[in-house]
Chains A and B, each alone.
Chain A
Amino acid sequence: MTAIGKRAGRSAMLADPAPTGWQVLNRFTLGSDTAIQITILAVTLAIWQISASRLGMEFWISSPAGIWRAFGKWAANGVMLGDIRTTIIEAGIGFVLGSSIGGLVGFVLGWVRRLGDIFEPFVIAFYTLPKVALAPLFVLWFGIGMGNKIMFATLLVFFMVFFTTFQGTRQVDRDLVSNARLLGASRWQIWTKIALPHASVWLFAGIRIGLPYALIGAIVGEFIAAENGVGFRIREATSFYDTSAVFAGLIVLMGISMVCLAALKIIETRALRWQNVRDLTPAG
């Protein structure tokens, strides 16, 4: 009862009006964005298929039909699900570890001005280093099992989340803090009610930037040394000149990262609802 009442009250003030039947229908008719997007995809696939078969380029660029067959083969011998699982576990654990450590360290160094000043040169030194160059070292440290990929994904995510949170948190309006102090806030309350909510915007931005890096970390790790995983399968297919299987692997990766980004988007819109509110009219 209350939930419904609340929602109704809010939507009357802030939300879009519900789409009418006609508008829903219109979204899928010719000329709508969705229709155009589907057309672009279809035309691209057609050109790809034709240039592969008619121009004899299948060896280099494979073809949609060839990729479809590679998918079938990959799925049929039961290896695909195992590979996907390996890569997702590596990237997933790396993502969780990297973003929580990166977020925490970035927040603390960003908020405590002195600490931030002290550590800034080190931070910049690490920032300029292409992190991928560390991958061989990680094989040495953590072996060729999953541990190595998890650590590498953690490292990449950590840096992305850390930098964004650190830079963002530093930009807090200090007047907001002194005003809160004037309103009676204790030190602890300034952390929990001002600093953390302020930093959460940057933390989310960092996490969004860091998410693809979890997958990059896992894949690069698998490229260098691995026994299974999607990245390993791509490299294996390349060494057999099996372009179709390479593309199949790439499409799986694309699918994984799109699902992750969509999930993140949902969480983010809920947590940062205040950023996306619309103007009220008329203004008073």
Chain B
Amino acid sequence: MMAAVADDVTVTELTPEFSFTDVSVRFGSFVAMGPATLEVRQREFLVIIGPSGCGKSTLLNLAAGTLQTRTGSVLHRGAPLRGINHDVGYITQKNYCLPWRTVEANVRLPLEFRRWPAAKIKLRAAAAIAQVGLTGFENAYPKQLSGGMLQRVLIARTLAYNPSTYLLDEPFGSLDAQLRMHMHRELMRLWQTTASTFVFVTHDLHEAITLADRVVVMSGRPGRIKLIVDIDIPRPRDVVDIQSDPRFGAYFKTLWTALSDD
């Protein structure tokens, strides 16, 4: 399954989770993104912001291996990516739950794909469901759940197979503001309990500053890396209190300026 990681590469704590070097993506003569160079550190919470259509999602697709490019290189833990990267979890705002499967069966799906023994699947699925607070809803069908709960099912499904990177593409884009803040709190808790790297794409500056260790600002098309800002606000962070932190306002201004002089 993890053929993407070659044996002859030694991975240390300093090996970047992902290194994009001079990567650009073209569709014909149209340059969609890049050239861009970016290192994603192991276990960090990296947020990518930028105007619509700047190639934020393209970067995630490159990391997931669903999109390949011949210009530049993409390394995952030091090894070049070949084909689909099964060591990532990809969560978007789209509902990818299978409607004919219950919550529990949806969470089981990636483990069934990996042909784990049934007993182990059952345990792991139950643990993942508990971790996102969906215990009691195991036998419900996606149709019966609200948007926030569906998002939790998708998170639990990713959690179940414990990928080394979570790729999150505006996962809470369709949720209302209050629920979104709830989800931020839970996502940060989750990030702290797993040993995984989170790469989160959004165009919401509040969301970016609340969650990130580092915020990457991309320019308009063709998307390039314009600025990288370290968010020096100690953790654990409170999703409400952080907004009145003086540093929050300063970061907001920096990022806003970087985004608007495009």
Contact = CB atoms under 8 A, between A and B. Distances in A.
B99 A274 contact: yes
Contacts of B149: 283-284
Contacts of A277: 140-141, 143-144
Interface in B118-175: 137, 139-141, 143-146, 148-149, 157, 161
B113 A283 contact: no
A284 B146 contact: yes
Interface in A227-284: 272, 274-275, 277-280, 283-284
A261 B84 CA distance: 46
Contacts of B148: 284
Interface stretch (A102-110, A157-165, A181-189): A181-189
A182 B161 contact: no
Contacts of A61: none
Contact of B144 (A176, A194, A278): A278
Interface residues of B, number: 31
Nearest to A192: B112
B96 A175 contact: yes
B222 interface: no
B143 A283 contact: no
Interface string A184-228: 111001000110011011000000000000000000000000000
Contact of B113 (A184, A200, A274): A184
B110 interface: yes
Contacts of B157: 183
A81 B113 CA distance: 52
Residues of B contacting A: mostly: loop
Interface in B184-216: none
Contact of A13 (B84, B96, B139): B139
A179 interface: yes
A197 B98 contact: yes
Given A184-B114, A193-B109, A274 B141 contact: yes
B1 interface: yes
A283 B145 CA distance: 7
Interface residues of A, number: 31
Contacts of B94: 175
The prevalent SS among residues of A at the interface is helix
Contacts of A175: 94, 96
B41 interface: no
Contacts of A194: 98
Contacts of A54: none
B113 A189 contact: yes
B23 to A, nearest CB: 20
Interface of A: 9-10, 13-14, 175-176, 178-186, 189, 193-194, 197-198, 200-201, 272, 274-275, 277-280, 283-284
A-B pairs with lowest CB-CB distance, top 7 = A283-B146, A184-B113, A183-B110, A179-B96, A274-B141, A280-B144, A185-B113
30 contacts: A9-B139, A13-B139, A175-B94, A176-B96, A180-B109, A180-B113, A182-B64, A182-B66, A182-B86, A182-B90, A183-B110, A183-B161, A184-B1, A184-B110, A185-B113, A193-B112, A197-B98, A198-B100, A200-B100, A272-B100, A274-B99, A274-B100, A274-B102, A274-B141, A275-B99, A277-B143, A278-B144, A280-B145, A283-B149, A284-B148
Given A182-B84, A278-B144, A284-B145, 17 more contacts: A13-B139, A14-B144, A180-B113, A181-B84, A183-B157, A186-B113, A189-B112, A193-B109, A201-B100, A274-B102, A274-B141, A274-B143, A275-B143, A277-B144, A280-B145, A283-B146, A283-B149
